[in-house]
Every structure is written in C-alpha cells, then in structure tokens.
Amino acid sequence: MKLQSWTYLGLAGVVGAATLLPLTAANSAPTAPAATATAKYCPKAVAHRGGEGDVTNANENSMGAFNRAANIGVDVMETDVWFTKDKVPVIMHDATLDRTTDAKGNVSDYTWAQLKHGVRLNNGERIPSLHEALAYFAFRDVPSFIEYKDADDPQLYRIYLRTMKDYGVDAWAAGFSADMLEWMHAHDKNRDLMWFGLRSGSIPIPTTPADVPSGAQPGLINVLLSKETVASFTDAGYKMNVWYNTNTKGDNPTGTPGVPGDKGWATMTQAGVHWMSTDYPDHYKEWTIKTGLCQERPAKQSIQDCLTLPHKMKRGTTYTILPQGCMTSAEKKISVKVSANKSTAVMKRQQGATLLKVKNAGGKVTLRYQAPHRIWTTGNGNSWESYTSYRKSRTYHVKGSGGTHGKG
C-alpha cells in the first residue's frame, strides 16, 4: 500500500514579539575552531547584564539583550535584581531608575504596577520582572547568575529564593553579600551560589579561598586576578568566574594598554578561569573560534518541552501530535511529518494544533519532528552555529483497542 505523508509547522508566539530583536538568518556555514586549539575548552561565555556591549538597542538587562545573548549561544545569563515598594523582584542593575530608564528615583519608590505600566527602559522596552526573565531563560535552556543587589533582609531573601525555585536549579543565587549566600545555602543546599568577592565600600579588594562562603563559587573582577591567584582557588577546589566593568576596562582579547593590572580574555583564559563574564559575548564567542589558546565549546543542544507524545496509539482515538506555538529552545518552529497508510490515520488542524485521528488497527504510524539550527552572524560576516538542529521520531504499530507502545 502507498503511504501518505503530511507536514505541518508549529506557530510562533511563545515570547512576546514586542520584546524581541530580529535575527537575520545566515547562509554561510559555521566557522570551525582554530586548528591549533588545544583540547581544553574556552571559558564559558557569561552575558554580563545580558551582554549589551556595543549594541545600543539591546539595553542592558532588557528582554531584547537576553534574547540576543541567547541567540548568540551564551552559556550563562547574568542579571541583577532589586525589589519594588510592594516587594516584587525586578531586573535592574542600579538602585535607581535614572541611568537606564525614562523615570527618576529608587526602584523601591515604585510598585510593580507603576513600573510595568509607566516606566520604559532607554530602548523603549518595559522593565522585566525576575519571573519573566527566569521564564525566558528556562525556555531558552540557559542557566543564569541572578545577582541580588538589595538589602540584607531575610524577608526579601525568601521571595528571591522562592522565585528562583519556580524555575529549577539552573538559576544561581549570586551577589557580594556573604550573609545572603549563607542564608541561601542554609535554606536550599542544592542551590548553586556565585560570590563576587570582598569589598571595601563599593571597591572590590583582594580575596582568598578562605573567604568564600559555604557552597559558593568565586567570581572576582579581572584586576584582582593573576595566574597564581586563579591557581590558588583552583587548588582549593573552586572554579573561577572573572568579570569586567567599564571602570577597570580590559573586556577584550588583549586588555587595555596603560591600565594598571588590566587583564584581557587571553590572559584570563591562560590563567584557567572557568567563566568569562563579558559585556561583549558576540565578540568573545568570535574570539574563541579564532584563538589557538582553547577550543570553542560545541553549539548548545536545541531542545523542546512542548511535545508530549502518546505512549501508544489505539484505533478510534484522536491525538494532539503538535501543539500550537511549539518551538525549540532556539526559537525555531517545529514541524511534524506523519507517514501512515490512508486507512490507518488522518491528520488535521484544529485551532492551530496538529491532530492525528487513528481510524483502524493493523497499520503503522511514524511521526518525524524537526526544526532547523540557529546560526549567529556578527556584523563583519563571521558566523557560527549557536544551537543545533532538532530531530525526533517515533513509530507506532496499531493493533486494536489496546494499541502498542511507540518506539523511538
């Protein structure tokens, strides 16, 4: 008997289009890692404040910046949290709104409703809540360092932790406060913690492995790190996260000449850091492909959580085989191809979903799902695969009212 095949695409719409930046598809093949690279992987790319860098319309700590960083294929998202007057955790680096929004005053002077409906970031987007940011990180399957910036207050700690728990253990509690991190470790020993070191006032100061709070990993500013310093933490069982800011400079391959103590990506890579927190994740990823100091990490695996395939199929039953809006973590539409004898099953669309009605026993049904990979292309034309393609298949043998389990 001749088999019939149908193919349907899932529909977009998982993330509000108004918050996303367009990505131009690249036709060129991904650039391969340098032939001289060692077997050691380059430090993981962390998008500091979402990795705004030199892209003016990807305002720091905005959904646009997070989307851009996820498209690039960063390994970790870093962002910051303050609380509103009604104790809602929101994404903001500064205690005040003055620098990055069209409003003035402290974050804590406003309710969440006031921020949501009356304040806009400099790129026109509204301020994200921590819930919204974490939901998007979970959808894109990107771990995150969530820097707690507010007061040492157990009531706020509880809200912060409860929000992160809603999205699993891939959300790290992070910050300078040892008190907050020790509280976190006592209340959730499975929670990963990132500590940003000792400070004198607002100035980071030298830190030793003995200073690291229980359960935390260290994250120190570049000017405090050397090969010997990193080795002392590594020997103590820690993995080092280096971070940069606009005052200390050096957020580039070679550092900034003439800045005392400046440490660029090459120096930090050779020192053996595990994470590279950068405002320029696109430039950093491009550098890791070209450098001979280390090997670029493989593309992130494209996954999905919108498909629930039936364990078995039986005649007379209709199954939803592709829900409306089903996409991969690379924000690529999933398509399904069904192969079946005409007398066995019929596929149809209903309210955006793809359904399959199994008519008779004695036949075979095969479902094949796929979605394309994502290519990121820089302004100068260099490109790499930031997410792999997605493929999944399952075959069912329909044998009557009981059905049989699918394979694949």
What is the pLDDT at residue 189?
A: 95
What is the pLDDT at residue 402?
A: 53
What is the pLDDT at residue 256?
A: 87
Confirm whether 30 is domain-assigned: no
Domain count, the chain: 2
Say yes or no: 197 and 260 in one domain.
yes
Confirm whether 264 is domain-assigned: yes
Q: What CATH number is given to the structural domain containing 383? A: 2.60.40
Say yes or no: 333 and 397 in one domain.
yes
Confirm whether 29 is domain-assigned: no
Confirm whether 372 is domain-assigned: yes
**CA 228, chain centre distance (Å):** 31
The answer for residues whose C-beta is within 8 angstroms of residue 221's C-beta and 6 or more apart is 196, 197, 204, 242, 243, 244, 245, 248
Helix then strand count (H, E) for the chain reads 8, 22
**What residue numbers bound the domain in which 327 lies?**
3-15+301-405
CA distance readout (Å), 407 to 119, 203, 293, 323, 344: 52, 59, 44, 21, 18
Say yes or no: 280 and 348 in one domain.
no
Say yes or no: 108 and 181 in one domain.
yes
The answer for residues whose C-beta is within 8 angstroms of residue 153's C-beta and 6 or more apart is none
Say yes or no: 56 and 193 in one domain.
yes
| Contact of 194 with 164, CB cutoff 8 Å | no
* Per-10-residue mean pLDDT, the chain, length 408: 45 32 36 52 98 85 97 98 98 97 98 98 97 96 98 98 90 98 97 97 95 98 96 98 90 88 92 97 95 95 92 91 96 96 90 93 93 94 95 89 55
Say yes or no: 284 and 312 in one domain.
no
- Judge if pTM exceeds 0.85: yes
Confirm whether 350 is domain-assigned: yes
| Contact of 196 with 217, CB cutoff 8 Å | no
Residue after which a domain boundary falls, among 229, 262, 290: 290
Tokens of residue 57, six digits:
């319309």
Residue after which a domain boundary falls, among 290, 320, 349: 290
Confirm whether 26 is domain-assigned: no
Say yes or no: 61 and 102 in one domain.
yes
What is the pLDDT at residue 408?
A: 57
Confirm whether 107 is domain-assigned: yes
Say yes or no: 359 and 238 in one domain.
no
Catalytic residues, which ones? 48, 93
Say yes or no: 50 and 99 in one domain.
yes
Positive or negative: CA dihedral 174, 178, 180, 182: positive
Say yes or no: 191 and 80 in one domain.
yes
Say yes or no: 236 and 325 in one domain.
no
What is the pLDDT at residue 290?
A: 93
- Residue carrying the six token digits 């499975």: 190
Residue after which a domain boundary falls, among 237, 259, 290: 290
Q: What CATH number is given to the structural domain containing 102? A: 3.20.20.190
Confirm whether 295 is domain-assigned: no
Say yes or no: 286 and 322 in one domain.
no
